[in-house]
Chains A and B, each alone.
Chain A
Amino acid sequence: MISYDLSGTCRPEGDFMSAGEKLGMKDRKEADSGSAAGKPAGAAGKKPQLSPEIQAKIGQQLRKFYDDMVNQGVPDRFADLINRLDEPKK
């Protein structure tokens, strides 16, 4: 059975500005740090690990999902919105 960790469930329901947002985020580190390719899981030892092939496949599909979005380009409605609202500030 999978054991579900119920500690640290957090539902900042209704709180528009979360702690992270108020503090600001640190720079994005090395992209992909946790994904795919055989990274040993934190809970190593307790549960059987997925094979590296399966982990890689899942990582690859996740990135493809993102790449599909990149390939779709930015819809005009968003580009227009950003340009329109951004201009007066610059």
Chain B
Amino acid sequence: MLAAIPGLRAFAVSLCGNVDRADDLVQETLIRALANIESFEPGTNMSAWLITILRNLYRSEYRKRRREVEDATGSYQERLRSLPHQEGRVEMQQFLTALGKLPSDQREALILIGALGFSHEEVANICGCAVGTIKSRVNRARRHLAELLAIEGPDYFGPDRTMRAILSRSERA
């Protein structure tokens, strides 16, 4: 269960956009999980089970209670301020800001697959939808993110690549 904590926190931050609120959500998740531990099937994926609990908690409680939550843009910055100085921090800041602008269904699919390393099938299970839906959400999320990053940080991908991202955007328009 300890090993699942970084993933739970990362996912919670991407949902809440704020590290304190995210950690409260992780805490509630752990309490809920430990109280219902008998419903966990040994041999199945503990991380996926915990993520599912966290996601449902967030959707049933946090979202109703706190409508302002979708304002993830600014509050991602708070999290970054709490991190020690490191290389690539500005870049990460831009990245998370752009991530915060994605529709939440795209964002969660991208985070679960790209950051936490779940398979499309696992994410389909977690989100209760078809594998194809998850695949298309992830694809849309990547394209959307590339556009946002290309627009906001002209040097994000390096000049050539930024130009290419913009070009691929206008092709579509």
Contact = CB atoms under 8 A, between A and B. Distances in A.
Interface of A: 1-2, 4-5, 7-36, 41-43, 47-51, 53-55, 57-59, 61-66, 68-70, 72, 74-75, 77-79, 81-82, 85-86, 89
Interface string B136-172: 1111101111100000000011000100110010011
Contact of B45 (A13, A26, A49): A26
A5 B113 contact: no
Contact of B143 (A2, A22, A53, A75): A2
B59 A54 contact: no
A47 B119 CA distance: 23
B122 interface: yes
Query: What secondary structure prevails in chain B residues at the interface with A?
Result: helix
Contacts of B146: 50, 54, 58
Given A16-B57, A21-B49, A50-B168, 6 more contacts: A1-B172, A33-B117, A57-B157, A62-B111, A63-B114, A85-B30
Interface in B60-99: 60, 63, 83, 88, 91-92, 95-96
